[in-house]
Amino acid sequence: MAEFHGSFGLLQRTCVLLVAACTIHLSVVIVFYLRSFDVVARIPVPQHELTRTPETSARNSSAPDTPEVDAERNQTLQYCPETPPRLKGPLYVEFSEPVKLDKLMKDTRLSLGGHYRPSECVSQQKVALIIPFRDREMHLKYWLFYMHPILQRQQLDYGVYVIEQDGDETFNRAKLLNVGYVEALKDYDYDCFVFSDVDLIPIDDRNLYKCYDQPRHLSVAMDKFGFKLPYNQYFGGVSSLSKEQYVKINGFPNNYWGWGGEDDDVYNRLSFRGMSISRPDHNIGKCKMIRHMRDKLNQPNPQRFTRISHTRETMEKDGINSLSYSVVSWEKTRLYTKIIVDVGKPPHI
């Protein structure tokens, strides 16, 4: 019996030692695993793996790489989707009756200066809409009436800038666009610029007013031209350029006084810098023009064809780097920021 108890005691001690050894081994494995997991978690992930830039649209370079926190609602906002969910597609646009802006003026989502940010998500781009302007008050009302709802459905972080030429000198559309670019950047950190004539309205809100990897021509099918592109190099009406694209071509020319030629000069600049024009699908890119008589101070520019033929020689010295103007007044309303400027006089020939 004593021999039996001795053997049992030895077996018991052996089991205890075996359990203790297994426990120590398991503890070492768990510690090693947790340390390994922590090391992996601390390895920095390449930024392009965190946020991939869509191939078709230009990503907002100044946007944060993590979602923003809305302090008022105490919630985290994700980036807005590439395809906004509330788009309607084809729209009814009519200019036969006057429009009222009362409802828009009461839209609390618009901040002073015609600035809007979507509340449900973070827009991927900050877009400045630049409108060259003089004596087109009725046209501006139509533009504001139709465009604000469209831009809001497109979930853009945008602001509207009406750049009005002061005085009674010949109109200079391209120079006003340059002024709009400079003045808008003083107001907000925009990275995309849509340059739009005041008399053109898209009739499909799937035509997104934002920037893409290549310069974008947005008004590709105007009713004025039978909803056809007048020629392949046409870049007039409404177009968008990212900040990088704009700087690369030295902005727009300043020396086109009167109607015509400046958009073809810009097309040449883009081509000489190795860029190509992107366009929406023909049906999506349709737009309507408000019919009107040509302005008396915007007659066809007789020098336009000569200037277009010399774009390569002039683009380095004529553009944003040679822009000169003076601001006469700056006004902010609920629907837009109006900047009246003196752009000088055309040179005498």
Choose, from 292, 310, 316, 331, the residue flagged as catalytic: 292
Using DSSP, state whether 178 is helix, strand or coil. Answer: helix
Choose, from 97, 294, 313, 348, the residue flagged as catalytic: 294
Choose, from 197, 204, 265, 318, the residue flagged as catalytic: 197
Choose, from 199, 204, 205, 264, the residue flagged as catalytic: 199
Select from 306, 275, 284 the least CA-distant residue to 202. 284
Judge whether 259 counts as a catalytic residue.
Answer: yes
Give the integer Cα–Cα distance in Å for 198 and 70: 34
Choose, from 289, 295, 330, 342, the residue flagged as catalytic: 289
Choose, from 164, 262, 264, 265, the residue flagged as catalytic: 262
Kindly write down the DSSP assignment for every residue of 227-268, as one continuous string: SS-SSTT---SEEEEEHHHHHHTTSS-S---SBSSHHHHHHH
CB distance 209 to 194 below 8 Å:
yes
Judge whether 265 counts as a catalytic residue.
Answer: no
Judge whether 134 counts as a catalytic residue.
Answer: no
Judge whether 292 counts as a catalytic residue.
Answer: yes
CB distance 219 to 235 below 8 Å:
no
Judge whether 263 counts as a catalytic residue.
Answer: yes
Judge whether 157 counts as a catalytic residue.
Answer: no
Using DSSP, state whether 348 is helix, strand or coil. Answer: coil
Distance spanning both ends of the chain, measured CA to CA: 130
Choose, from 263, 264, 265, 318, the residue flagged as catalytic: 263
Judge whether 257 counts as a catalytic residue.
Answer: no
Select from 192, 161, 187 the least CA-distant residue to 341. 161
Choose, from 117, 138, 166, 259, the residue flagged as catalytic: 259
Judge whether 348 counts as a catalytic residue.
Answer: no
Q: Which residues are catalytic?
A: 197, 199, 259, 262-263, 289, 292, 294
